Chain A
Amino acid sequence: MHDKTYITGIAAPLLIDNLDTDQIMPKQFLRTITKEGLDRGVLFDLRFHPDGRPRPDFVLNRAEYAHANILVGAPNFGCGSSREHAVWGLQQLGIKAVIAPSFGEIFFSNALNNRLLLIVLEPDKIGLLLQDQAIDKHLAIDLEKMEIRCASHVFSFSLGGRHKKMIVEGLDMVGATLQLLPQIEAFEKRHYAAFPWGYVLPSA
């Protein structure tokens, strides 16, 4: 279930340091003008042989993780390219949350803007969490209490106020900022009076 404040499910370990967005969503799936069909591309080279057959040894192809909706990652998860397709693809694959010691910066913002929950958890806690996985693969993430509950541990985590609000309530960010349009216009007036050479005029 996922009512935006409570996620339960199976967590699959994907413990690759610096797992980049090129791997999460390879280039051939970026030749699109929509968001559709990106689930097929997620972690493509890890999930599939070149001929398209699934790699039976890859974690998400193993029977016990077939219904995983949470990923447990290694440091700098989602580094590299800015491609938001990586987030869209993970969501289309059914992933609701990723837990890792740290995340790539642009990926982090992309996830937030799409309400994919990212939780930063210290490596030692992730180690214990993975030990628990051997007993029971299910996890529960409670956003109200900011807790992860697994077989024998409860880990607390923190989310920034804006982060939590984005995930729980969602937000039409563009709409919210458009409310500030008078402020933006006033800023522009001041800004370009003081800084006219920042106002771009295309060269011939």
Chain B
Amino acid sequence: MNGGQAIVQALLDEGVETVFGYPGGAVLPLYDVLYDSELKHILVRHEQCAAHAADGYARASGKVGVCMATSGPGATNLVTGIATAYMDSSPIIAIAGQVATQLIGNDAFQEVDMLGITMPITKHSFRPNNPNDIPRIIKSSFKIARTGRPGPVVIDLPKDIQEAELDEYINRPFKLPGYKPTLKGHPLQIKRAVNAIINAKKPVILAGGGVIISGASKELRKLAKIIRAPVTTTLLGKGSFPEDHPYSLGMLGMHGRKVANLTVNECDCLIAIGCRFSDRTTGNIAEFAPNAKIIHIDIDPAEIGKNIEVDIPIVGDAKKVLQDILKILEKKDINSEKKEWIEKTIKFRNKCMPRMSFDKEIPLKPQQAIKEIMETIDDDTIVTTDVGQNQMWMAHFYTSKKPRKFISSGGLGTMGFGFPAAMGAKMALPEEDVVAVCGDGGFLMVSQDLATLREYDIPITICIMDNRRLGMVAQWQRLFYDERMSHTHLGEVPDFVKLAEAYNIDAEKVEKPGEVKEALKNAIKSGGPTIIDIVIDPMEILPMVPPGRGLTEIVGEYKVETKTIKKEKVEGE
């Protein structure tokens, strides 16, 4: 068995079925093995899409996504995708070819120091210098990528090591004495947290991506119900708590919902679970949750106290910690003051629900487009977004009800993420419908991969929120740069329908209310890849908190739903 065969075997041993990649000289021995392997390889048209697809695969399924590329430029094209996965704690393994061992350091053809380049954006990285280590490296990589706080692992693979023969295929992970994630929360801290929760009059839960990663949604719902706390989420926490639940406040932060921002500002106890208090979530940290005792549950000790001073830190896996908290809480009598708090919050929430119905307006409002998307797809549909206004509109208006169904690039804010991530998600869960909501700018960064979509007939629907703008940047220019619209107008090219036609993909342009619904219904029914070019109002903006300001200082007009909302019952009575 040679190194390449060992890699494929080790990947199969880990249960990998699909890899995304792009071949080249330094990775040829591995690709030669793939030729007659049962491993399914999706040939993308740009390596960045391989990394994003692996990421989408990982986020949708909870499994590890795998991507591969050749050395040098192939490897560096993976970098954006690796950094994206790192910022959002997504478990991917990136296998990059490397020049032969004896050439390393000689500036050989297509040589780049991939380990050095990716060190700050990986959880760990490996370069085997002995083919016998390959199975153990793959095994260790999977362990590191998916356990604790998940993250990307890079394997830099010299060509000669891929070709060299193994003495023996030993598939046991390396001993990793420096790697012991803390899963169980400290009992004393848990007790302190419970006391703080019981004594709070106005508790709020802030749920982050960690809730989804650890599968703690059930525990989260239980906690909210017992202590009658409204739940707000970060962008990555979207879907951890059903957003049609009366306790749900939607997303918090710079582009979050007014009700979430104001409620957090008022709360006296903030229970933050699996989130890292990004500046986009907190606004000015000096003004963040000024009256609250803050409980922070996170598996990564380095996240605790990094951005926000915490009163009660608990290091551990969200699910396990919440179970322990619930065990104590269930025996306690929770005071009735919290009932008033939740009733007041729900009332306030209903009063400032953002308006979504613009049934007659042309150009089409993005809110209306999202409303029609929501009315067409079911709760199990996986939705990915790109980055920019399209993303924030979705975060704001799209009601996500289940975990792992809303996939978006949070930390790095990577334009071009939505479409390849949707491909990856569909490969992971072929039974589910997958819809990518993109902006025209982000989509054009990766549109070459329409070829991949057609080639493998991956039936996803791409909704392009088309305003011929770099919408979010333009929004900032409008709000903070005196309307000096420097280089944010993208012009009228291309014609997305014709572009799709070039790739033999069905496409439709929609411009009026009602048309999105119809087009999306047909797209899903067609069972093939489809593009819907949704022409939206380029002037529409979402109210936001200016950078560096407190969460209460929202600017921009906030259109509120005026239709009467039926009275919702407070749960737990």
Task: Verify that A and B bind, or say they do not.
Answer: no
Residues of A within 8 A of B (CB): none
Residues of B within 8 A of A (CB): none
